[in-house]
Amino acid sequence: MKEINLTVNNRPYRLIVLPHRTLLEVIREDLGLTGTKEGCGLGECGACTILLDGKAVNSCLVLAAEADGKEVTTIEGLADGDKLHPVQQAFVEHGGLQCGFCTPGMIMSAKALLDENPTPTEEEIKQAIAGNLCRCTGYTKIIESIKAAAENMGGK
């Protein structure tokens, strides 16, 4: 057992975790934040993507103990009250989702990209979401959504 301190969506948590538990398990099971999805559990699908100290990571590959002292952002942390984050809004308006299973991870990867590079090229968008698999959309609408989000955010 190890005590860890995490800030998740700007809220501080002190948790006791077993050494083998992943950050994904702790986020979903201990904190009840089930917006982050578990697909493969092996680092291959990107459904579990969150931001760890601002960087997009597969939370199924991070041990909770390794995240001690770090800042986590999940999909639940993006909206501002009832107002969707511009990336979420763009996915809704531009058909960037169908079944929605890949969507939280896809949006977190897109957010990490736009935070670092507010005016990405199509190639940079493709690279940023290369680790996020979608079985439904064929990716075109996802790429359009991320482009629209970048425009709506005005390069900020």
Binding-site member from 134, 143, 149, 150 for ligand FES (CB under 6 A): 134
User: Judged by CB under 6 A, does residue 100 bind ligand FES?
Assistant: yes
* 91 closest CA partner among 9, 46, 147, 153: 147
User: Judged by CB under 6 A, does residue 90 bind ligand FES?
Assistant: no
User: Judged by CB under 6 A, does residue 55 bind ligand FES?
Assistant: no
User: Judged by CB under 6 A, does residue 99 bind ligand FES?
Assistant: yes
User: Judged by CB under 6 A, does residue 62 bind ligand FES?
Assistant: no
**Pair of tokens at residue 127:** 């690279």
**Nearer CB in complex with ligand FES: 81/149:** 149
Long-range contacts made by residues 139-145, C-beta under 8 angstroms, separation at least 24?
141/94, 141/95, 141/96, 142/91, 142/96, 142/97, 142/106, 144/94, 144/95, 144/96, 145/87, 145/90, 145/91, 145/93, 145/94, 145/95, 145/96, 145/110
User: Judged by CB under 6 A, does residue 18 bind ligand FES?
Assistant: no
34: left (phi over 0), alpha (psi -120 to 50) or beta: alpha
Binding-site member from 6, 17, 101, 146 for ligand FES (CB under 6 A): 101
Binding-site member from 135, 140, 151, 152 for ligand FES (CB under 6 A): 135
Number of residues that bind ligand FES (CB under 6 A): 23
Residues forming contacts to ligand FES in the complex (CB under 6 A) are 38-41, 43-48, 58, 60, 97-103, 134-137
